[in-house]
Chain A
Amino acid sequence: MNMFDGFRFRRVSSPIHDMDPRVKFLYVLVIFAAAVLFDQLLPLLVLFVAQMPLILVAGVKRECMRSMRGSSLFAVIIFATNMLSLYLYSGGGYGSIPSIIERSLAMTFRFMVLVESFSIFFLTTSPDHLGLALEQSGVPFDLCFAFTTAIRFVPVMAEEAQTIIDAQKARGLELERGNFIRRVKNYVPVLIPLLVNSIRRSLELAEAMESRAWGASPKRTNLYVLKMKRSDYYMIITSLIILVLAAYIRLYISIPSIYELLSA
């Protein structure tokens, strides 16, 4: 089940993986803010390229490429709709075709920058760490537990779905037949056992949780604690500098368009 591979988090160690998830989240927010601040191509390109070293340091180049490829369809749609709407409503300053293209590209790269930073976050943060970060940020434990348990059971459910599909196929179920609606309906004999099994599983889980003193103490301890390291503080400072710099450039410096630079 390839599409669920993403949930089988591999434990790797890199400076980015070891970073506090809260710090990484701050970084994502800063990049998000910076990407929204600018609407010209040049700064967005800079943001896009500037994040690449992080991907290389984390060693998640291939996974990152995969998620970028996955979002390429959206990127094309964004580009096309921007082109179309700018062309139709070309009052204002976006008269010429090259500047329309540049602006549409800028919007596309804004999206790609977001995809890139979110990929870095999710590819380098283990679900365990994420749950822990939520917990230490004051999210109630019940919710954090539901979150990590959901992730824990994705591979199990995927395997179970495959077993049910195989079993139903052996009984003559044809999944790949008919038009779209027919195909969706074909999945009903797979979904019902999957649902029933999940309900049964959740009951068993609840029993097992009760048997391990769930809710015994209102003040639950946690085996692990997230602690900020020196490198985490550096990352916070870097993120804040990026934010301030981005705001400063946006307010006080006029950014040339790439088309103007090229034609000058």
Chain B
Amino acid sequence: MEIIRTEDLTYTYPISSKPAFRDVSITIDKGEFVLLTGPSGCGKTTLCRCFNGLIPHFYSGKLEGEIMVAGLRVPDHPIHELAQHVGLVFQNPENQLFALSVEKDVAFGLENLGLPRDEIRERVDWALKVTGIYDLKDRAPYELSGGQQQRVAIASILAMRPEVIVLDEPTSFLDPLGAQKIFEVIDRLNKRLGITIILVEHRLDLASKYADRVIIMNEGRVVLNGRPRDVFISDEAQLVGVGIPKATMLYKLLRENGIELGRVPITAEEASQMIREALTHDRG
């Protein structure tokens, strides 16, 4: 069942003459884990802003084409209504936490919705536990590491129980270990809670293994859209200049030299497994 559909979506920022992206037609199904990537300035952040209505409601400008999210036509519904279906996590964790304690921050969205206090309490505790930061609930945001702050941001979105969570480069301020932890949390939300994930990310080496689908954008257009293996192996992906996983690059190099591994690997583990298989096969 589809949860997001865009048809020939084109958007131009108010002061700009050139569209930030044009003719984007994608469909995302419920429960999918989609990895959205592309070089800087390709329009992926702008596209994310459309999913919860920041475009066209917060940013004016010209939006053409159709966009439906959770059965709602985005231009017809206010952000606060769309925000209950689509949660957006931003790049800089520092600028999306407002309160002086973690617990209060996670409650912020729910307070805005005017939910009864007992329900807020219950949902906040639940979200803190799912993201593994229950122990931090009384801390102030500036006492936390970047990775912890980003998990607070995810928890505060999660508490609103959206069907879709969009994460716009959530790990770009984090070290690899912090990033890894964030990906694990996101994967848990997807696999265990069935939440649809759209992850904008440059660290494909770490993130690819979780994704069901990869969409690559370049210069405001969707250039590739499909299963991670199919996308990464294509020559176009390399031309666009996204950081194709090293395991896939190795596969391509080996193939150019006449060594066929059989399947396309995405992670280092997969690649080493396949090479080991190929070697034992050769010897036998």
Contact = CB atoms under 8 A, between A and B. Distances in A.
Interface stretch (B108-116, B187-195, B209-217): B108-116
A127 B98 CA distance: 13
B198 to A, nearest CB: 14
Contacts of A156: 94, 142
Given A208-B90, A221-B115, A213 B80 contact: yes
Interface centre among A151, A212, A215 (most CB of B within 10 A): A212
B36 interface: no
B100 A127 contact: yes
Nearest to B86: A211
A128 B71 CA distance: 39
B95 A220 contact: no
Interface string B99-134: 111011001111111111100110010000000000
Interface stretch (A30-38, A199-207, A231-239, A241-249): A199-207
A204 B114 contact: no
B81 A216 contact: yes
Contacts of A227: none
A216 B113 contact: yes
Given A212-B109, A217-B112, A221-B117, A128 B142 contact: no
A212 B140 CA distance: 19
Contacts of A8: 140, 142
A109 B120 CA distance: 48
Contacts of B114: 216-221
Contact of B141 (A145, A152, A201, A214): A152
B96 A9 contact: no
Given A145-B98, A201-B95, A207-B58, A223 B83 contact: no
Nearest to B153: A208
Given A217-B112, A221-B111, A212 B157 contact: yes
Given A210-B83, A213-B80, A223-B124, A204 B95 contact: yes
A152 B116 contact: no
Contacts of B99: 128, 148, 152
A214 B115 CA distance: 13
B135 to A, nearest CB: 15
A127 B100 CA distance: 8
B142 A155 contact: yes
B96 A205 contact: yes
Interface in B178-202: none
B52 interface: yes
A84 interface: no
Interface size class of A (residues with CB under 8 A): 35 or more
B218 interface: no
A27 to B, nearest CB: 23
A207 B48 CA distance: 12
A117 interface: no
A220 B111 contact: yes
Contacts of A220: 111-112, 114
Contact of A223 (B57, B95, B121): B121
A180 to B, nearest CB: 33
Contacts of B108: 212
Given A217-B113, A220-B112, A210 B96 contact: no
B134 to A, nearest CB: 15
Given A8-B142, A152-B98, A223-B117, A214 B112 contact: yes
A79 to B, nearest CB: 38
Contacts of A163: none
A156 B111 CA distance: 25
B138 A11 contact: yes
A211 B83 contact: yes
Interface in B240-261: none
B37 interface: no
Given A128-B99, A208-B95, A213 B109 contact: yes
Nearest to A216: B80
B163 to A, nearest CB: 15
Contacts of B160: 212-213
A51 interface: no
Given A205-B95, A211-B83, 19 more contacts: A9-B140, A11-B138, A148-B98, A149-B98, A152-B141, A155-B142, A206-B58, A208-B90, A211-B54, A212-B108, A214-B112, A215-B80, A216-B80, A216-B113, A217-B113, A221-B110, A221-B111, A222-B117, A223-B120
Which 6 A-B residue pairings sit nearest by Cβ, starting from the closest? A217-B114, A212-B109, A208-B96, A216-B80, A213-B80, A204-B95
Interface of A: 8-9, 11, 126-128, 145, 148-149, 151-152, 155-156, 201, 204-225
6 contacts: A9-B140, A205-B98, A208-B96, A210-B83, A211-B96, A220-B111
